[in-house]
Amino acid sequence: MSSKGSMVLAYSGGLDTSCILVWLKEKGYDVIAYLANIGQKEDFQEPGAKKVFIEDVSREFVEFIWLAIRSSTLYEDRYLLGTSLARPCIACKQVEVAQREGAKYVYHGTTGKGNDQVRFELTCYSLGRNDLMEYSKQRGIPIPATPKNPWSMDENLMHISYEAGILENPKNQAPPGLYTKTQDPAKAPNIPDILEIEFRKGVPMKVTNVKDSATLQTTLELFMYLNKVEGKHGVGIVIVENRFIGMKSRVIYGAPAGTILYRADLDTKAFTVDREAHKIKQSLGSKFTELVYTGCCPECESVRRCIAKSQERVEGKVQVSVLKGQVYILGRESPLSLYNEELVSRNPIDATGFININSLRLKEYHCLQSKVTAK
């Protein structure tokens, strides 16, 4: 069979891409496997492609994560967008490989739930997952998903997601042994870890563990350390979302480091950003979350610049305790804090004039209501 041309496949080693790789070879394509190392636990074994490129984009990815932390991105008040943030890193490097190798096509594989169908083009998912498992069995394709444990996992530095199989039914509890990035909170240690996190312009710059004085100051290592500590305490497990195409989906996410940084960053903002400026930033953060989730790019640059401006005063240290899946803020300090202890401690009588002025509207309203009732 003559070759139909070269194709760069974004290969994850999961059920979908493992089967797609073999299927594309059977159809006559020269498949170049592109594996993006974005912090997942992976042995990156040879997938049997014509060529294999393994690109470590962890440090590039962590810069995307800082954008999310500064923007307080939280989709539907729960999801820290771990998958959405990783896609631009993967896609950029994949296109670079395709251009360098002169490939005609690029190819992606997802579980077909909606979000990445929009972000990545799919043409091979019509087989369905049960048929894919049978296909992989017939051709001896090693895959992590099995008929007994048929859920799909997508891991990166930011988080890991679990979906499909028995997880499709939202009333089913997560099966024992599901979690790999986070400990089951019930099995987490009974003694908390106390961490001090230092921010500068909204970006985490330093983490110190009060218990053993361990200190991390480089971005990637800092994030990896938080994943380890917070994961041990079961921090960062969230469930369920509305997909971009409109369907509801039961997905379990584990995002330990992102969760604690989100909480600590919010606390720093509360003491260093003006109230009204913070309201505007919240609105921009919601818009940025939407843009990241849906994969829309043109507007992102403008929104990011505005958010960056709002973060110039976000500087300080936050001390947090992590225990049994929870994050507790213990204290904070900042050289740029707007908190004035002297002002807060003043005699309550100082507020009398302020209260009288603000009560005028209520007094007039009730006076008018009394007249109307009397008539």
Q: What is the pLDDT along the chain (375 residues), one digit of tens a residue?
A: 668 889 999 888 777 788 888 889 999 999 999 988 988 877 666 678 889 998 898 998 998 899 899 999 888 778 888 888 888 788 888 888 988 999 988 887 665 554 544 444 332 233 355 666 677 777 777 666 555 566 677 889 998 888 777 777 778 888 877 888 888 888 999 999 999 999 999 999 999 999 999 999 998 999 999 999 999 999 988 776 666 656 777 788 889 999 999 999 999 999 999 999 999 999 999 998 888 887 766 788 889 889 999 999 999 999 999 999 999 999 999 999 998 877 766 666 667 777 888 888 888 888 888 776 776
d(Cα 322, Cα 233) in Å, to the nearest integer?
7
Q: Nearest 5 degrees, angle CA 7-CA 11-CA 14?
A: 140
Residue 240 carries which side chain, given as an amino acid letter?
V
Among 148, 123, 125, CA closest to 135: 125
Residue 42, both tokens: 């992976």
The pLDDT score that the predictor gives to residue 127 is 36
Instruction: Verify whether residue 152 is a known catalytic residue.
Output: yes
Instruction: Verify whether residue 265 is a known catalytic residue.
Output: no
Residue 258 carries which side chain, given as an amino acid letter?
G
Indicate left, alpha or beta for 13 from its phi (over 0: left) and psi (-120 to 50: alpha): left
d(Cα 30, Cα 161) in Å, to the nearest integer?
31
* 100 DSSP 8-state letter: H
Given 58, 71, 84, 87, the catalytic residue: 87
* C-beta neighbour count of 251 within 10 angstroms: 22
Dihedral over alpha carbons 11, 16, 144, 258 (to 10 degrees): 70
Given 12, 16, 263, 332, the catalytic residue: 16
Residue 186, both tokens: 């019930």
Q: Spell out the domains of the chain, with CATH numbers in brackets.
A: 6-132 (3.40.50.620), 152-333 (3.90.1260.10)
Residue 30, both tokens: 């020269």
Is 103:8 a contact under the CB 8 Å cutoff? yes
Instruction: Verify whether residue 321 is a known catalytic residue.
Output: no
**What contacts 228, CB < 8 A, 6 or more positions away?**
none
Given 84, 116, 129, 193, the catalytic residue: 116
Q: Rounded to two decimals, what is the model's pTM?
A: 0.78
**What contacts 165, CB < 8 A, 6 or more positions away?**
145, 149, 150, 151, 152
Instruction: Verify whether residue 30 is a known catalytic residue.
Output: no
Residue 333: helix, strand or coil by DSSP? strand
Among 197, 199, 254, CA closest to 227: 254
The pLDDT score that the predictor gives to residue 270 is 92
Given 152, 249, 310, 334, the catalytic residue: 152
| Residue 45: exposure state from Cβ atoms within 10 A (0-12, 13-18, ≥19) | exposed
Residue 248: helix, strand or coil by DSSP? strand
Residue 124, both tokens: 């091979």
The pLDDT score that the predictor gives to residue 199 is 96
Is 51:26 a contact under the CB 8 Å cutoff? no
